[in-house]
């Protein structure tokens, strides 16, 4: 069965280094806590708020061994008034037998406010 794994992080500025560093941290934690193998991943969507455009954050996923052929796409979040700024969100579609309620969603660096009801992130 395919399950969706969610995650998000924020950055302090629209700089390539900061975006890639924060996104790498987010992917690393999602992969680690959910024990994800690249061959089990159907696709990954990465969205950013409109104030992030210095780099495609998904490009950092290519640093991870075995992730070369995983389909990844970046897109823009809807600009909803008063929404969280400078935010990178991830939706990873993974083939897994893990029950939905045992999936660990990861929210970092202030993005916890997006889904406090789902933020079952382990302590960092």
The catalytic residue among 16, 62, 76, 102 is 62
The catalytic position among 6, 16, 101, 112 is 6
What is the spatial distance between Cα 89 and Cα 6, in angstroms, rounded to a whole number? 8
Catalytic-residue membership of 76: no
77 is catalytic: yes
- Spot the catalytic one: 24, 25, 74, 112: 74
**Among residues 37, 77, 87, 112, which one is catalytic?**
77
Q: What HEC string does 73-114 produce?
A: EEEECCCCCCCCCCEEEEEEEEECCCCHHHCCCEECCCHHHH
- Mark whether 89 is an active-site residue: yes
Catalytic residue of the set 89, 101, 102, 112: 89
Q: Is 3 a catalytic residue?
A: no
Active-site pick, 18, 25, 112, 115: 115
C-alpha 31: how far from chain center: 10
Respond yes or no: is residue 107 known to be catalytic. Answer: yes
Cα–Cα distance between 14 and 124 in angstroms, integer?
Answer: 24
Residue 80 structure tokens? 């909803």
Say if CB 10 and CB 110 are below 8 A apart.
yes
Q: Is 37 a catalytic residue?
A: no
Q: Active-site residues: which are they?
A: 6, 62, 74, 77, 89, 107, 115
């Amino acid at each position: 069965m395919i399950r969706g794994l969610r995650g998000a992080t924020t950055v302090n500025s629209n700089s390539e280094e900061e975006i890639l560093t924060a996104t790498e941290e987010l992917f690393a934690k999602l992969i680690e806590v959910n024990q994800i193998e690249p061959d089990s991943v159907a696709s990954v969507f990465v969205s950013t708020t409109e104030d992030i455009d210095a780099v495609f954050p998904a490009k950092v996923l290519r640093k991870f061994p075995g992730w070369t052929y995983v389909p990844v796409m970046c897109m823009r979040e809807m600009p909803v008034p008063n929404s969280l700024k400078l935010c990178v969100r991830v939706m990873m579609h993974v083939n897994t037998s893990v029950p939905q309620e045992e999936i660990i969603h990861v929210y970092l660096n202030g993005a916890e406010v997006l889904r406090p009801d789902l933020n079952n992130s382990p302590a960092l």
